[in-house]
């Protein structure tokens, strides 16, 4: 009997949106979709590709992030004037929403505890300004907006540890560049109550930091991320089955923490 070790190559599970994005990217590179031409509508892509509208939208987000298309305000999507470098689309990958969420609960809780011992009054005021800016942001960006990300990065900066600052910054870069994250955040950002809830939770974190209470700051940060996680979990359950196949599901360990 032949030796089967290393005979087989693992089969990669490629998300549907990425297969769609790869096909469109090839048409752009070959010139069949010319530079600066208007992209077909979502409806046309759905009909021709035989996939859901949600999958098409995720593919378009991936193509925009990687530089293949430009989304022009009130005008639709157009092929970019200059296609991106080879391999740009393959880099649109990373941890799933729930993997990132669990990592944030572990790491940002400890960062908040450390920050509570070191934070200055000027840094506390900077956090209050972030919360004020969140109130001014439109609903469709609040769950992944600049003020929200700056709030969390400012807390990391209070630790005076470059490695921790880089970790938190990377969390937010991942949130902005992965299609499924973008889609799910759009769903969350449309709900004004979510914004008010986020700000209220931020204020609890600031209060603990200002009081220089490490355990209270850690608990407030973990509660804040868990609250957002429960909203994310609800939206995930609402996704179509084929979209759920594109992301690592939440672990039972995380589900228990979110209850």
CATH number of the domain encompassing residue 23: 1.10.10.10
Are 105 and 179 found together in one domain? yes
Query: Residue 196 has what pLDDT?
Result: 84
Query: Residue 186 has what pLDDT?
Result: 58
Residue 211 lies in a domain: yes
Query: Residue 141 has what pLDDT?
Result: 46
State which residues of the chain have pLDDT below 70.
Answer: 1-6, 9-14, 91-94, 138-144, 177-192, 239-248
Rg of the chain over Cα atoms, rounded to whole angstroms, equals 21
Are 247 and 125 found together in one domain? yes
Are 198 and 149 found together in one domain? yes
- Whole-model pTM? 0.69
Domain that holds residue 80: 16-91
Distance linking the first and last C-alpha atoms of the chain: 52
Query: Residue 3 has what pLDDT?
Result: 58
Query: Residue 115 has what pLDDT?
Result: 98
d(CA 67, CA 63) in angstroms, rounded, equals: 6
Are 74 and 107 found together in one domain? no
Query: Residue 84 has what pLDDT?
Result: 86
* DSSP code per residue over 158-190: TTT-HHHHHHHHHHHHHHHH-HHHHHHHHHHHT
């Amino acid at each position: 009997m032949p030796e089967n070790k290393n005979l087989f190559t693992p089969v990669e599970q490629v998300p549907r949106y990425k297969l769609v994005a790869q096909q469109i990217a090839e048409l752009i590179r070959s010139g069949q979709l010319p530079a600066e031409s208007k992209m077909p509508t979502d409806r046309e892509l759905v009909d021709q590709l035989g996939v859901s509208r949600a999958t098409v939208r995720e593919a378009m987000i991936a193509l925009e992030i990687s530089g293949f298309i430009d989304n022009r305000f009130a005008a639709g999507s157009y092929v970019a004037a200059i296609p991106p470098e080879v391999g740009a689309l393959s880099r649109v990958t990373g941890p799933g929403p729930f993997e990132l969420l669990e990592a944030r609960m572990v790491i940002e809780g400890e960062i908040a505890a450390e920050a509570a011992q070191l934070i200055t009054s000027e840094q506390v005021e900077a956090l209050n300004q972030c919360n004020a800016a969140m109130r001014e942001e439109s609903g469709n960006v609040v769950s992944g907006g600049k003020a929200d990300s700056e709030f969390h990065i400012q807390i990391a900066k209070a630790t005076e540890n470059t490695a921790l600052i880089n970790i938190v910054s990377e969390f937010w870069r991942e949130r902005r560049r992965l299609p499924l994250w973008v889609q799910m955040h759009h769903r969350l950002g449309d709900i004004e109550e979510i914004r008010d809830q986020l700000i209220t939770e931020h204020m609890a974190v600031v209060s603990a930091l200002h009081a220089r209470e490490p355990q209270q700051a850690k608990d407030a940060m973990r509660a804040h991320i868990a609250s957002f996680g429960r909203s994310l979990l609800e939206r995930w359950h609402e996704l179509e089955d084929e979209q759920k196949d594109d992301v690592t599901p939440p672990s039972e360990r995380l589900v228990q923490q979110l209850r």
